[in-house]
Structure 1
Amino acid sequence: MSENCCHAGPQETGARDALLALDPYTLDDRQKNEDLMPIFREQLKDARGNNRHIEHYFSKLQIDIDALRQPEDVPFIPVQMFKHFDLRTCPENAVAKVLQSSGTTGASPSRIPLDKSTTLNQIKALKAILSDYLGKNRKIFLVVDHEGINKPEMAFSARTAGVRGLSIYAKKTFYLLREEEGRLTLNMPVIRDIIENYSHKEVYAFGFTYIIWTVFYEQLKKEGIRFSFDKFTLFHGGGWKKMKDLAVSKETFSGTIAELFGTETENILDFYGMAEQTGIIFVDCACGNKHVPAFSQVIIRDPFTLEPCSPGNTGLIEVMSILADSYYDQAVLTEDLGMLVGVDDCPCGRKGRYFRFVSRVEKAEVRGCGDTFRESR
């Protein structure tokens, strides 16, 4: 199959740009789906025409793209497929960077090819999400990790992606840990500087949940050190499987870490995201629900039937996105369990679907999908 130029057409690009320009949580679910579906259909046609694996997959499923009417109809790809197949949908010479992420299951890395337009869309999307939680102004950015995690030569990881992505709003960045002989320790000169000079500034922070708890919090507790910020927000993600092993609940984590930073529990924001959909994070609101922005959608599917679940039922999380021109990003079935809480009626005021993360699933590859791809190699 020949490789055509896969960049979005003017109509699709205009519709996508319009969604990216909105406040991300102002559309109700019905209107958002009406806006998303024409974009999805055009992107699926591009993907089918530019990737033989996608073509074989769609043919096997007898997909009629023009007949797709709602997000639940869009063919999803199990996230494991990124580890085994080239899902690039743009010419090879258009790829500016290939992200690699091994995740938490197995050693085989996912490969995510990014061209310039996809990277720009991801930046726009993340900026829109963060602005809803942080406002428009740049702030002091604290990274609960060591500076080496953000070096260009570092392999892409969830930690690296978080630092690079959330630095969009950084006026000045400080790393609160340092690495010594392979061990993370407190960066005491920086911590003292923060306490003395930045407690009354607008500050936001990012860290990997497990590292915040087992390294940062535990060592600060031994030193008897606490912060006291006037305006502070912490974004944290990942590591909940390990936290569960430690018998630390989300509520315990939020309360303890809020006290550590001298802030309110509602300013400790857990988010859900994945390397395969860089640019989109699903952030907790004050009610503890994760919200879906205008340029994305989330479906919870029954693990046994793969049919969409109704609110209140736990199933596999499917994440959808219109950001990518360079790879199949439109519908990805994850290896995580979640629960759809509700639609359009969260007390925080944000419109659209909102959900909660429940847990990871071991060995969650959907049976049959890999074989469907593999036949076309």
Structure 2
Amino acid sequence: MRLKDSTFLMIDERIELAISRIWDYGVYDLNENDREEILLPVIRAQTRDALVNPHIRSFIDKLSVNPDEIPSLELVPWVPVTMFKEFDLATVPADDIVKILRSSGTTSQQTSKIPLDKVTIQNQNRSLSKILANYLGPKRLTFIVIDHPEINDPRNEFSARTAGVRGLSLYARKIIYLLKKEGDTLTVNPDALLEIEQLGKNTPVYLFGFTWIIWSVCIPYFRKHDICLNLSDATLFHGGGWKNLHKIAVGKDFFAIEIQKLFGIPSNRILDFYGMAEQTGIIFPDCECGFKHVPSCAKIIIRNIQTLKPCDIGERGLIEVMSILPVSYYGQALLTEDTGRIIG
């Protein structure tokens, strides 16, 4: 028994070492053959470790899968992200959980619950720092949060918006919150606007906000008060809320035009990103050509909506996001409800 425990300890250390060294390959430099070779052994071991969770064990047993014999990343057992709304998918003891991240949702929706331990948070933070550095360079910059300060209050629920703000603030030299709360309503804070205007147009900054909040709160306020910032050396990261925007016929191009007009941010630095609470630590921002790239710690598989088999290049299907970052829950292979396609 002592030998078995020691063996598992060595394997765990090997996994941690592999995760810590993944960035030695560069943020976006892995080709698909190398990605398969490097990630597969780690995800095999993580899948085996996830069997301590009874829901995951039942799920994988029904598939008759031996984690140690998974032949490829495409055949790693995936779970639908909706499982986080119904089940506790923690894979570490309860005492190791330091935060429960809750996905965004209305009061009528059941939110996902993602258990986080210190190791998972460290992995996610390092990943975000590496991805951001690829877009912003090595220096810390002023960070403009298009949200209110209370979103980052540790006394409040740890939400997807909170995770986004905290994750991206790792790169910040200074933080300015553009919005404030008036009762239950969000509005622009004039004092924050003045502080931003005093930065000067050539001051490099970066901004982050949820797309729907930017559109429904900032844009109307800027129009009403005839505000046009001149953030010509800024980068905006925004994501989420596209379903609401599509309902009012606002697309990505029109959104970028309005942001460029009112914020003064160059169109090539208005970066929509794809990400989700269940895979915090991985964001997929646009490149200068408007495409999203997969970081070294992750893999994207597109699955046919009817058969769930992997799609060919260019074929649209459900997005599966794979990651080696989660340790405290089974997030190695998650099938989303979103659709996309791999360009190449």
TM-score normalized with structure 2 length: 0.94
1:59 positional shift:
1.1
Amino acid corresponding to residue 39 of structure 1 in structure 2:
V
**Matched position secondary structure for 1:247:** coil
Q: Percent identity?
A: 48
User: Which residue of structure 1 aligns with residue 317 of structure 2?
Assistant: 315
* Superposition RMSD in Å: 1.8
**Moved beyond 4 Å, runs of 4+:** 4-8
Amino acid corresponding to residue 207 of structure 2 in structure 1:
A
**Matched position secondary structure for 2:21:** helix
User: Which residue of structure 1 aligns with residue 43 of structure 2?
Assistant: 40
Does the CA contact (< 8 Å) of 2:232 and 2:266 recur in 1?
A: no
1:31 positional shift:
0.7
Does 2:221 align with 1:246? no
Does the CA contact (< 8 Å) of 2:102 and 2:158 recur in 1?
A: yes
Of the three residues 73, 89, 96, the one matched with 1:94 is 96
1:227 positional shift:
1.1
Does the CA contact (< 8 Å) of 1:314 and 1:338 recur in 2?
A: yes
- Measured in 2, the distance between the counterparts of 1:51 and 1:186 equals 45
1:105 positional shift:
9.7
User: Which residue of structure 2 aligns with residue 78 of structure 1?
Assistant: 80
Of the three residues 230, 236, 239, the one matched with 1:237 is 239
**Matched position secondary structure for 2:335:** strand
Amino acid corresponding to residue 176 of structure 2 in structure 1:
F
Does the CA contact (< 8 Å) of 2:104 and 2:160 recur in 1?
A: no
Does the CA contact (< 8 Å) of 2:239 and 2:273 recur in 1?
A: yes
User: Which residue of structure 2 aligns with residue 200 of structure 1?
Assistant: 202
Amino acid corresponding to residue 107 of structure 1 in structure 2:
Q
User: Which residue of structure 2 aligns with residue 301 of structure 1?
Assistant: 303
User: Which residue of structure 2 aligns with residue 349 of structure 1?
Assistant: none
Q: What do residues 134-164 of structure 1 show as CA deviations (whole Å, max 9, x unaligned)?
A: 1111001101111111111222333222111
Does the CA contact (< 8 Å) of 2:142 and 2:206 recur in 1?
A: yes
**Matched position secondary structure for 1:96:** strand
Does the CA contact (< 8 Å) of 1:297 and 1:319 recur in 2?
A: yes
- Measured in 2, the distance between the counterparts of 1:51 and 1:20 equals 29
1:97 positional shift:
1.6
- Measured in 1, the distance between the counterparts of 2:43 and 2:25 equals 18
- Measured in 1, the distance between the counterparts of 2:56 and 2:29 equals 33
- Measured in 1, the distance between the counterparts of 2:168 and 2:228 equals 23
Does 2:19 align with 1:16? yes
Does the CA contact (< 8 Å) of 2:319 and 2:339 recur in 1?
A: yes
**Matched position secondary structure for 2:312:** coil
1:106 positional shift:
5.4
1:44-83 paired onto structure 2 within 5 Å: 44-48=47-51, 50-83=52-85
1:104 positional shift:
6.2
- Measured in 2, the distance between the counterparts of 1:114 and 1:186 equals 32
1:100 positional shift:
2.1
- Measured in 1, the distance between the counterparts of 2:82 and 2:195 equals 44
User: Which residue of structure 2 aligns with residue 286 of structure 1?
Assistant: 288
- Measured in 2, the distance between the counterparts of 1:226 and 1:71 equals 48
User: Which residue of structure 2 aligns with residue 368 of structure 1?
Assistant: none
1:194 positional shift:
1.1
User: Which residue of structure 1 aligns with residue 160 of structure 2?
Assistant: 158
Of the three residues 257, 272, 277, the one matched with 2:279 is 277
**In the superposition, relative to structure 1, how do residues 102 and 217 fare at CA in structure 2: closer, same or farther (>3 Å)?**
closer
Q: What do residues 7-33 of structure 1 show as CA deviations (whole Å, max 9, x unaligned)?
A: 862222222211134421011121111
**In the superposition, relative to structure 1, how do residues 237 and 212 fare at CA in structure 2: closer, same or farther (>3 Å)?**
same
Amino acid corresponding to residue 55 of structure 1 in structure 2:
R
